[in-house]
Structure formats: C-alpha cells, structure tokens
Amino acid sequence: MSHTVALGEPTVGPEELAAVQRVFDSGWLSGAGPTCREFEGRFAEAVGTAHALATSNCGSALHLGLEVLGVKPGDEVIVGDYTFPATGHSVMWTGARPVFADIRPDIWSADPASVEASITERTVGIIAVDVFGQPADYDELRAIADKHGLFLMEDAACSAGASYKGRPAGSLADVATFSFHGRKGITAGEGGALVTDREDLATHARKLHTYGIAPALSREGSSSLPIPSFDEAGYNYRLSDISAGIMMAQLDRLPGLVARRGQIAAAYEERLLHVEGVTAPVALEDRVHPWQSYVVTLDEGIDRGVVATHLRQNGVQCNFGTYASHVQPVYQFDRSLPVSADLFMRHLAVPMHANLSDADVDRVVEVLTEAVAVAR
C-alpha cells in the first residue's frame, strides 16, 4: 500500500528552525517577551486590528475576551452551535451560560435568525464561529448585536488568512480569537491570539494574561527595582517566545498556504461532482475561505462509520467534522437545533493541508468513492 494521506499536516522547515535559533540566541525564551511583542505587531497588521495579544491557546483567548467584555455569572452568551466545545466552555469558565443557536445548512455558521430568536433579558453577547475558517455573516450579526446592545465576538480559531467582504478575519467583531494548534492553517503546535481595536480591552487582557500584573518585559531595563502589586486575579495565558518565533515564520508562509489550500479545495470540488452520495462544502463568493479543514456531507442512509473504516484501512485519514455543541451532556441544553444535529451525524473531514499533492487528492477521492459504495 502507498503512503498514508494525513488528515492534517503542518508546513514547517528550516525557516521555523532558524526562527527558534534566533529566540535561543536572544536569551528570552519564556512568555510575553520581545519576540511575542514583535509577533503581536505583525499579527495585528495581518488581521487589520489595532491590537493583538499572543496567548497560550485559543481557549485562553476566548476566556480573556469574555472576561474583559464583562461577562459574569448569570449572564447568557449566544454561541454558534457547530464548533469544538472550547467556545461553549469559555462561556462556562466565566460562570455564564452558553445559549446555542442553530446554523446555516450551507456554510454551518450561526443562522442570524436563530441568534436573534435566542436573545433573552440575560443575553449580553454573541460569539460567532467561523466554521472551518469561513467567516460567518458579520453584517447581519453586527446589526442584531447593535439593535439589542450586545457585544459581538469572532471565534476565528480556524480563520487565519480568511476574509469577509474584503475585510480580514479578526477585524469583524469587537474581539476575535485565533488558534495556532497543530491542525490550523498556521501553527506553532499550540498557541493563540486575541485581537481587537479597543485599547481598553487589549490593556486589560494583557494584564489578566499575566496573573493580573504587567508582563516582566515592561520592567526590563529599569534602573530601579519596580515591584508590581496584584489588584485582581489573573491567569497564566502567555505564549512562549519560542512559539512566537515559530509564528513569525508561519506568518511569512500564510499567503502561500492559503493559496495552496484553495487550489486543493478546487480540485476536490471538481472531482467530487462525479461522486454520488457526497456533497462538497460551499465557499461563498463574498468571502475568502482558508480551508482549515475540508468537510464533505454524506447523504442520509450512508453509514459514516463504514466510510471512515474503509478510508482508514486504505491509507486515507479522516474524522468527523466538529461538534453539535448542544447535544454534549456538559451543557445540559434543553432545546433541539435540527440543522446542527443533522450535520453532526453526516459530516466527514478528509485530508486537507498545503502539503497534499494532486495525486493525493486523486487517491482520496478514489478511496472515498469506493467507501461510499460499500456503505450504502
């Protein structure tokens, strides 16, 4: 059997190793140091915001964002349902309650009508999720947020390099958060970022992400002995300078990685037109999809487990799409969201990363075609 086609794979090489060496040579390896600050400046510029804060992961960025937006116990935050549970968990970490909204059947982000129908007197904000990287409907969601006096947050975990009506992902809400996990379009293995145009939110988030004091870098070079005091409890949500160095190299790669993933997505779409029982994902013309994942929809009646087993047995990695959050027991959510629940059972992620060859795509589609025939 030929090589296994990986579901996801980072694109890294000598440039990342050289970046790590530069951090080693600097002598500052820990978090929130000079390399982090340099990366934050470059990342803010890339996503079109005034401020960026490098964090340990996207979950910590989500939590910081909700904290500085003032979410407190007893509040409700509406969350697009189709997402890894880090989004809902971050609301719970504040003591608030996530209220899940159903999703569009085509691009799988929060349906604005479902969002508005979910608003109660306890609602304080909305978290829209850019599912697999494609931005949600921010014009409609902003109108709803403004109408009801709510904040709008963008869970852009998968969205580096995406855009919506010409505006980059990250600049589409009051606060946005990114992930640099190993499956993401650009990666340091782990890591994340919070971005915003609001200086007050950025300043407070920077304080909270270092236990509640200014990072040590702000005291570097002082001729006296400044001793910070703690007036609120914060967290250790810093990104190491080693990871920030890797992310500097990854930012250089970002345009090429998004372009290559787009080519692969187009190749998949062309080939899947001829595969009965499989529907390719939709990329809307008014936004740039960065294709963090490539998720197909299987027709009803096709046994997804059989399809997955056949793919894996023939050297093609795969997985389910993501979670219908509202059915997870931790949330004890008492309403049905039929679109999200249905797609949760029929989505299948197939290999997507910038290192795939055209021959890899051909092989994935060939094995998928066989698998669907077996699973009917």
- Return d(Cα 293, Cα 9) in angstroms, integer: 11
The string of DSSP letters for 204-241 reads HHHHHTBTTS--GGGGTT-SS------SS---B-BPBH
Q: What CA dihedral angle connects 85, 90, 93 and 94, to 10 degrees?
A: -140
Which single residue is written with the structure tokens 């580096």? 160
Which single residue is written with the structure tokens 């939110």? 201
In terms of DSSP bridges, do strands 163-164 and 192-196 run parallel, antiparallel, or are they unpaired?
unpaired
153, β-bridge pairs: 127, 175
Q: Model confidence over 295-349: pLDDT tens digits?
A: 999 999 999 999 999 999 999 999 999 999 999 999 999 999 999 999 999 999 9
Structural tokens at position 130: 């850019």
- Give the architecture (CATH level 2) of 254-375: Alpha-Beta Complex (3.90)
Name the CATH topology of 14-251.
Aspartate Aminotransferase; domain 2 (3.40.640)
What letter does residue 71 receive in the DSSP assignment?
A: -
Contact call for residues 360 and 5 (beta carbons, < 8 A): yes
- Return d(Cα 95, Cα 93) in angstroms, integer: 5
Contact call for residues 98 and 125 (beta carbons, < 8 A): no
Structural tokens at position 129: 């999720």
- Return d(Cα 93, Cα 87) in angstroms, integer: 10
Global pTM? 0.96
pLDDT at 282: 98
Domain ranges (residues) in the chain:
14-251, 254-375
pLDDT by residue for the chain (376 residues), tens only, comes to 578 999 999 999 999 999 999 999 999 999 999 999 999 999 999 999 999 999 999 999 999 999 999 999 999 999 999 999 999 999 999 999 999 999 999 999 999 999 999 999 999 999 999 999 999 999 999 999 999 999 999 999 999 999 999 999 999 999 999 999 999 999 999 999 999 999 999 999 999 999 998 887 777 777 788 888 899 999 999 999 999 999 999 999 999 999 999 999 999 999 999 999 999 999 999 999 999 999 999 999 999 999 999 999 999 999 999 999 999 999 999 999 999 999 999 999 999 999 999 999 999 999 999 999 999 8
Annotation marks residue 184 as catalytic: yes
pLDDT at 226: 82
Identified catalytic residue from 72, 147, 184, 207? 184
Give me the amino acid identity at 159.
S
The string of DSSP letters for 110-155 reads BPHHHHHHT--TTEEEEEEE-GGG----HHHHHHHHHHHT-EEEEE
- Return d(Cα 39, Cα 112) in angstroms, integer: 34
Contact call for residues 333 and 102 (beta carbons, < 8 A): no
Q: How many CA atoms lie within 13 A of 219 on its CB side?
A: 10
Contact call for residues 243 and 40 (beta carbons, < 8 A): no
